[in-house]
Amino acid sequence: MILDNVIDREFQMMLLPLNILEILYCQPKFRITETFITPNGIRENLLCTLGVLLMILANVGYVSINSYIPGNDEISDIIHSFICTDAAFYIVYCLLMYAMNIIYKNQIVQLIIKMQKAYRVLQNENGLRRFQKSNWIFVVAVFLFYFTYNLSYTIFNIYRVTHLLYDVVLFYFDVNIIVAIRIVKFLEYELILWKKELNKFLKTCSTTNHNQLVKYLVNVSYEERLLLSAYSNIIGAFGLCANVFGMSVSNFLLNFMS
């Protein structure tokens, strides 16, 4: 139903820093028009395609600029092979991400909808405002740390300027990780809220005498259905998150451990 795709203004604000990061790196996951969230349209798909083309050009350009060391052909050949292999990996991985973005375009929308449905039951405005701020802080802090880390290597002449620019481009592959972290963090927060509401509900039932429970049985049943619905949406959102971001997270963990 189209009404299921209505997304509240406050929820949009919570997602805004993640959306901006995705658009900045040509990886929009969905489209929000006024109060509706829908899968990527032609404009978003073109932006994703542009991102893939830019990644390919960046890798080809980096190989051509940095794979030759004057005066040492043997080392140049080794470095050239290494950089070419690295670039080929990034290009293939970029194409896989592009394909996954298309395959899971409906699931990412369902993920956001389930997150919001659960929140509508659990309602905590202060918590949502905190996430609006913390998402901005997290996105900006991670990007600045990443840029500063690579800039320091450039300042001390360990990296060339071209390497710094290339690393900024490669942040493309970390965007999904950042988005996944914040989504999982919000889902964990919803689970905490759900547990509090469940404990409150159970306490109310345990302290209410039998006659009153029978009298208000309809309300009790309604509360049960709401809590069950919220839990179902949270668990469903976790599953969708694993589908949508699983490949990016797995690759990140493999690189981190290697």
Residue 192, pLDDT above cutoff 90: yes
Rounded to whole angstroms, the Cα distance separating 6 from 1 reads 10
Please provide residue 6's backbone torsions phi and psi, each rounded to the nearest 5 degrees.
Answer: -70, 130
Would you state the pLDDT for residue 209?
Answer: 59
In the chain, where are the structural domains located? Answer: 2-257
Report which of 20, 82, 94 is spatially closest to residue 57, judged by C-alpha positions: 94
Would you state the pLDDT for residue 72?
Answer: 53
| 36 backbone φψ class: left, alpha, beta (φ>0; ψ -120 to 50) | beta
Report which of 69, 58, 51 is spatially closest to residue 165, judged by C-alpha positions: 58
Would you state the pLDDT for residue 126?
Answer: 87
CB-based contact 229:121 (threshold 8 Å): yes
Q: pLDDT exceeding 70 applies to what percent of the chain?
A: 86
Residue 183, pLDDT above cutoff 90: yes
Q: Enter the tokens of residue 112.
A: 């956001």
Rounded to whole angstroms, the Cα distance separating 120 from 117 reads 5
Rounded to whole angstroms, the Cα distance separating 163 from 161 reads 5
CB-based contact 71:64 (threshold 8 Å): no
Q: What's the chain's length in residues?
A: 258
| SS3 of residue 32 by DSSP | strand
Handedness of CA 227, 230, 234, 235 (dihedral sign): positive
Please provide residue 37's backbone torsions phi and psi, each rounded to the nearest 5 degrees.
Answer: -110, 130
Q: What is the pLDDT of residues 146-175, one digit of tens each?
A: 999 888 888 887 777 888 888 888 899 889
Helix (H) or strand (E) holding 36: strand 36-38
The alpha-helical segments, DSSP class H, found in the chain are 9-24, 42-66, 73-103, 105-122, 125-155, 161-170, 175-206, 210-215, 217-257
Rounded to whole angstroms, the Cα distance separating 218 from 205 reads 13
Q: What is the pLDDT of residues 56-115, one digit of tens each?
A: 999 888 888 776 555 555 556 677 788 888 889 999 999 999 999 999 999 999 999 999
Strand partners, 122: none
Would you state the pLDDT for residue 1?
Answer: 46
